[in-house]
């Protein structure tokens, strides 16, 4: 059976999925037709039910739990890797109330964390993540919430960090920060979901065991990124949680979604998070 598979062109995702889509590891009974899109585009495609398996923002997952389950492998969760709030002139987060703040999509975890930090920061401007730093630098918005490789490049735009939302989350809750996970349609069934999860875990393990093998594929999708930033991106977002969320990762995800439910941001779950 051929399954549609969505993930982003960011180095951590192309690193993780390289072995799976190039059939260097087996997923008996399944092949994958990949579609590479920005994470907010993937969020929208999953909300439409257009993808069988997909990378997703954990914020978006809060709206999709009736139709999709979470896989334990392949995601981005960790410490010291959260979104940053950057600005050109603001001196405090309180100063941003009532002013436009760019975020990388309505359903991104970055947008969710900002809302949880201060619901009063509600003048949000939704931009593709790679356009946010330019908008802040030009004064089109008062601040921006940046993700991905922007963490490493924002000083070149003359911007300063006002808040690390990941540091705030870790200090506030004690949990690692869940950024994005991999989901599969519940309709595929328990055994299929288990097989896909095993194959994805094997794909991560293959990439870690053969770190240079995916370089050409990774660079083909990140041509504007230097080798140094590309390597830093992978090192930051690919870790032991990418192999398996484990109890600590599962608890972190459940806590984030629970906080979002309590705040009235996402609907309360009617299905268990995992199928397998």
- The DSSP code for 36 is E
The backbone torsions φ and ψ at residue 164, rounded to the nearest 5 degrees and listed phi first, read -100, 105
Q: List binding-site positions for substrate.
A: 55-57, 109-110
**Is 124 buried (19+), middle (13-18) or exposed (0-12) by CB count in 10 A?**
middle
- Rounded to whole angstroms, the Cα distance separating 242 from 20 reads 14
Q: List binding-site positions.
A: 55-57, 109-110
Place of tokens 């920005």: 38
CA dihedral 168, 151, 251, 6 (to 10 degrees): 150
**Could you tell me which of 189, 198, 150 has the C-alpha nearest to residue 25?**
198
Which residues does the annotation mark as catalytic?
148
């Amino acid at each position: 059976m051929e399954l549609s598979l969505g993930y982003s062109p960011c180095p951590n995702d192309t690193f993780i999925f390289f072995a799976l889509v190039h059939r260097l590891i087996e997923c008996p009974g399944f092949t994958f037709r990949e579609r590479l899109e920005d994470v907010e585009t993937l969020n929208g495609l999953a909300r439409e039910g257009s993808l069988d398996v997909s990378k997703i923002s954990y914020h978006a997952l809060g709206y999709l739990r009736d139709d999709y389950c979470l896989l334990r492998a392949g995601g981005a969760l960790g410490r010291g890797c959260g979104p940053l709030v950057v600005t050109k002139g603001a001196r405090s987060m309180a100063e941003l109330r009532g002013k436009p703040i760019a975020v990388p999509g309505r359903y991104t975890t970055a947008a969710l964390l900002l809302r949880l930090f201060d619901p009063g920061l509600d003048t949000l401007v939704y931009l593709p993540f790679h356009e946010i730093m330019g908008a802040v630098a030009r004064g089109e918005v008062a601040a921006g919430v940046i993700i991905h490789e922007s963490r490493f490049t924002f000083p070149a735009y003359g911007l300063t960090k006002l808040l690390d939302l990941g540091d705030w989350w870790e200090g506030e809750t004690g949990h690692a920060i869940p950024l994005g996970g991999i989901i599969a349609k519940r309709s595929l069934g328990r055994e299929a979901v288990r097989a896909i999860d095993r194959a994805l875990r094997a794909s991560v393990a293959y990439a870690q065991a053969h770190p240079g093998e995916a370089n050409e594929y990774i660079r083909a999708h990140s041509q504007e990124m230097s080798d140094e930033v590309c390597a830093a991106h992978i090192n930051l977002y690919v870790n032991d949680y990418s192999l398996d969320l484990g109890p600590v990762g599962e608890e972190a995800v459940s806590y984030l979604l629970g906080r979002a439910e309590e705040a009235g941001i996402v609907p309360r779950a009617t299905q268990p998070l995992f199928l397998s």
